[in-house]
Each structure stands twice: as C-alpha cells, then as structure tokens.
C-alpha cells in the first residue's frame, strides 16, 4: 500500500518539470522579432531630438554671450562720451586732414574748390596734388569732356590741371573752347601731358608766358592755334618734332627770336606767324616744301628773304608785308607759279618786278611802298588773266610799254600818277588802295 503511494507521488513529482518547461516557451518567437525594430527606431528618434535640443541650447548661450559683449562695448562707449577730458571737434578748421579728404573727395571737381574758403587747412588740403588725384576719380569727372577740354579745366589750379591731363592723356583729342578769359593766364605746362591730343585751339584766351619745350611730346598734334594772345619768348626748337603738324597759327603774339627751321614737318600745309617780333631770315625751311600752301609772316622784324623761298612751289598765298628787309627781292620768288595772292607791301624791298608774268594764277599783287625800280613790266602784267587787285604805288617804277587792261578781270588799281598815263583800264576803280591814307579806299 505504502509502495503504491510512493510510486504515485514519484510519478507526480516527475511530471512537474516537463510542465514548467512547456509554460516558459510561451509566447511564440515571431511576435517578439516585429516589436524590436520599432523600439530601436523610437530610441534613435529620441536621440536625434535630444541632439538638436542640445545644439539649440548652445546657440542660445552663444547669442547671450554676444549680447553681453555688445552691452559691455556700448557701456564703454557711453563711459568714453562721459569723459570730459577727451577732445571733440566743434570747428571745421579743427577737423583732421584725413577726415577732410574723406568728406570732400566725392564732391565733383567743378564745385569742390568752392569750399577752399572754409579754412586754411581745407584750402591746403584741396589744393594738394594727392587730393586732386583722389577727386578726379569721381563718376562725373569725364562727363562732357569726351570731345575736348572745357573752360572749367582751363581755370583749375595747376595740381588739378596736371592730374587731369595725366588721367586723360590718351582719351582727349582736342583742347579748345569758344570762351574768352577774363584774366591773363599762362599756357598750362600740363598741356604737354595730353599725348593723345590732335588739336589745340586756344585763340583770344589772354595766354601769357612761353610755349613749353615739352610740346614735342604731342606726336599726334595736327593743329596748333594760339593766335591773339600774349605769348612771349622764342619758339622752342622741339616744335620740329611735331611730325603730324599740318597747321601752325601763332598770329598776334609777342614771340621773338629767329623762327626755327622745321625740316621734320613733312605734313605742314599752313603757317601763320604774322604780328610777332621774329627776326633774322624769313622762314623757308620746311620738311616738305611742296606741301606748304599758305605762309603768312607779315608785321615782324625779318631782315632777309632766303633764296630757298623758290622751293615752295605749291604755295598759294604768301604775305611778307610790313617787315624791314634790307635786300633785293630774290628772283626765285617768280618760281612760285601756284600763287594766287602775293603781298609784299611796306617791306623796303628793292630790285625789279620783271618776271611777275610767270605767276599766271595771281589774283592779287600788292607791292605798295617799297623801293622797286626800273620799267613797269606792262606786257607781263597784261598776261595775268586772273588779276583782280594791283597795288604798285610809292615805288620808283618808271613808265614803259602801254598797259592795256581792257577786257581783263582787274577791278582795283593803285599806282603813282606817272604810271597812270601809261595805263588803259576799263570798269576799274583807279587808285582805290587798301592802304590807309592812299587814294580813296
């Protein structure tokens, strides 16, 4: 009986471990593997959010530090303003030069000089070459100057003229304007920096001083027009280096000395040096003697006419009047067969007019008040079919062949009474002379 109970108990105890093992194997493995990735993804999201929050906190702290620093800086500035021992600029003349430069540098060149009267310091600053260099960098510096320099530049102080000329040396093609000066001013030396200029036309500008020797730098210059000024001194020999020059007009100045030879000027067409004080031989040496068409040298102190004048064979106008020549008229002058106008009045020239018939293009002949002698070359004058003006009075000419100008183009004749007897003219104004006090003209 006891053995049977013991076996039953043993069977019950032996069945217990198996039952427990079956209980621990629940729930199934497949549901657990689906939940795990969800947990891991949630954890990663939480970690990313925390990292972003930490960065935002760090940015906030950095901003706080910057604000604190700015507050400290502002506080220090306020303290500085409360420092009564520190100097403050309450007058314009006390402003440092560096500040003046920054204030005035961008004021246009045409108006900035109006502020020179504010103080001596400002005046010295605005008149410096350094300030001029900075000022011409303004945007309107070249406005209106594309075709030439205007009167503003002409009246600028020398530092501005120099800086301007240097800045515009290649672009500017013309120096000239239709204005008149109200005061005497020297010809700006800085004009020699305008190496790209082709025309200088400054008549009636009350220019004084001499023509600068540095003008030879203007290798593109074709026209030099400085008439009706007060220029003085001799012409610089460097004028011979202006190889592109075509027209030289220096009328009515006070230039003196001998006129320089210009053998390098092969393009020269017109020369007008009337009403100056040039001495020595009349100019006849040019680079291309056949290119010259107009030569005016009246009202000077020339004393001799070189024989080389005969080389100017294409000359159309020649004026040698009102000089003090102490020579005979060179016979070579009758080689200038292209002449339409020949004026040699009031020159004290001697010799003969024989040969004038070669000037078959002549329209005007003025030999008034000289010492020409011999017979009047009537037959030669008769062949001058284009002749309109003839002025021969106040010479020592004698009658010769009868001068019959019937049917000619002659309109104005001025001769001495002795010669009138040997002249036959029709539709002509006899003794209508262009010279003051002679005849009715």
Could you tell me which of 341, 331, 402 has the C-alpha nearest to residue 367?
341
Judge whether residue 441 has pLDDT over 90. Answer: no
Instruction: Tell me the CA distances in angstroms from 414 to 207, 389, 411, one per residue in order.
Output: 39, 8, 10
HEC secondary structure over 101-164: HHHHCCCCHHHHHHHHHHCHHHHHHHCCHHHHHHHCCCCCCCCCCCCCECHHHHCCCHHHHHHH
Band of pLDDT at residue 424, cut at 50, 70 and 90: low
Could you give the CA distance from residue 147 to residue 234 in angstroms, rounded to a whole number?
A: 31
Q: Which of 337, 331, 363, 335 shows the shortest CA–CA distance to 349?
A: 331
User: Coil, strand or helix: which one is 1?
Assistant: coil
Residue 35: pLDDT band (50, 70, 90) is: confident
Inform me whether the pLDDT recorded for 247 exceeds 70.
Answer: yes
415 burial class (0-12, 13-18, 19+ CB within 10 angstroms)?
A: buried
Distances (CA, A) of 183 to 155, 178, 250, 323: 10, 16, 20, 31
Q: What is the pLDDT of residue 365?
A: 97
Cα separation of 165 and 153, whole Å? 9
Place of tokens 């040096």: 273
In this prediction, residue 100 has a pLDDT band, given cuts at 50, 70 and 90, of: confident
Bond before 162 cis per omega within 30 degrees: no
Parallel, antiparallel or unpaired: strands 317-319 and 301-304: unpaired
Tokens (6 digits) for 9: 């108990």
Edge-to-edge, what's the strand order for the sheet holding 371-375? 350-351, 371-375, 396-398
For CA atoms 381, 270, 346, 282, give the dihedral sign.
negative
Secondary structure tally for the chain: helices H, strands E: 10, 23
Least Cα distance to 153 among 110, 116, 124, 104 occurs for: 110
Q: Which of 125-139, 286-300, 404-418, 427-441 has the lowest mean pLDDT?
A: 427-441
Q: Is the pLDDT of residue 370 over 80?
A: yes
Q: Is 424 helix (H, G, I), strand (E, B) or coil?
A: strand
Q: Note the pLDDT of residue 116.
A: 82
Residues 6+ away with beta carbon under 8 Å from 408: 382, 385, 387
Q: How confident is the model at residue 184 (pLDDT cuts 50, 70, 90)?
A: confident
Please give the Cα distance from 416 to 418 (Å, whole number): 6
* pLDDT(268) > 70: yes
What pLDDT is attached to residue 373? 93
Residue written as tokens 């009564």? 84
Selection from 44-53, 104-113, 129-138 with the highest mean pLDDT = 44-53
DSSP 228: S
Residue 294, pLDDT > 70, answer yes
Position 5 scores a pLDDT of 47
Residue 85's pLDDT band (cuts 50, 70, 90): low
- Average pLDDT value for residue range 150-175: 75
Q: Is it the case that residue 122 has pLDDT exceeding 90?
A: no
Residue 71 sits at the vertex; the CA angle it makes with 70 and 73, to the nearest 5 degrees, is 65
As beta bridge partners, residue 131 has none
Query: Residue 213's pLDDT band (boundaries 50, 70, 90)?
Result: very high
What domains are defined for the chain? 89-148 (no CATH), 328-441 (3.80.10.10)
Position 347 scores a pLDDT of: 93
> What does the pLDDT look like over 329-357, one tens digit per residue?
999 999 999 999 999 999 999 999 999 99
Mean pLDDT of 291-314: 96
The arithmetic mean of pLDDT across residues 220-234, rounded, is: 96
């Amino acid at each position: 009986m006891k053995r049977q109970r013991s076996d039953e108990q043993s069977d019950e105890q032996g069945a217990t471990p198996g039952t427990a093992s079956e209980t621990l194997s629940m729930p199934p493995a497949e549901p657990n593997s689906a939940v795990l990735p969800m947990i891991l993804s949630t954890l990663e999201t939480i970690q990313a959010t925390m990292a972003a929050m930490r960065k935002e906190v760090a940015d906030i702290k950095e901003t706080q530090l910057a604000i604190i620093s700015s507050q400290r800086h502002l506080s220090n500035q306020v303290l500085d303003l409360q420092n009564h021992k520190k100097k403050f600029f309450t007058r314009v003349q006390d402003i440092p030069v560096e500040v003046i430069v920054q204030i005035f540098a961008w004021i246009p060149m045409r108006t900035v000089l109006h502020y020179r009267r504010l103080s001596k310091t400002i005046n010295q600053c605005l008149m410096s070459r350094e300030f001029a260099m900075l000022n011409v960098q303004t945007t309107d510096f070249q406005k209106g100057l594309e075709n030439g320099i205007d009167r503003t530049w002409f009246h600028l102080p020398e530092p501005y003229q120099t800086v301007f000329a240097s800045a515009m040396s290649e672009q500017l093609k013309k120096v000239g304007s239709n204005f008149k000066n109200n005061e005497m001013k020297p010809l700006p030396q800085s004009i020699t920096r305008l190496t790209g200029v082709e025309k200088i036309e400054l008549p009636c500008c009350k220019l004084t001083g001499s023509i600068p020797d540095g003008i030879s730098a203007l290798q593109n210059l074709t026209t030099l027009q400085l008439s009706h000024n007060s220029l003085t001194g001799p012409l610089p020999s460097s004028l011979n280096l202006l190889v592109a020059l075509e027209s030289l007009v220096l009328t009515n100045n006070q230039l003196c000395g001998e006129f320089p030879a210009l053998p390098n000027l092969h393009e020269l067409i017109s020369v007008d040096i009337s009403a100056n004080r040039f001495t020595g031989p009349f100019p006849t040496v040019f680079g291309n003697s056949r290119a010259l068409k107009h030569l005016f040298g009246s009202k000077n102190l020339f004393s001799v006419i070189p024989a080389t004048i005969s080389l100017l064979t294409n000359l159309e106008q020649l004026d040698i009047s009102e000089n003090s020549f102490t020579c005979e008229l060179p016979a070579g002058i009758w080689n200038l067969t292209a002449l339409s106008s020949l004026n040699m009045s009031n020159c004290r020239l001697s010799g003969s007019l024989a040969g004038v018939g070669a000037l078959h293009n002549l329209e005007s002949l003025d030999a008034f008040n000289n010492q020409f002698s011999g017979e009047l070359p009537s037959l030669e004058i008769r062949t001058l079919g284009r002749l309109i003006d003839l002025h021969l009075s106040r010479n020592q000419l004698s009658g010769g062949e009868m001068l019959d100008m019937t049917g000619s183009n002659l309109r104005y004749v001025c001769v001495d009474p002795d010669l009138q007897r040997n002249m036959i003219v029709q539709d002509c104004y006899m003794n209508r002379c262009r010279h003051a006090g002679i005849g009715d003209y």
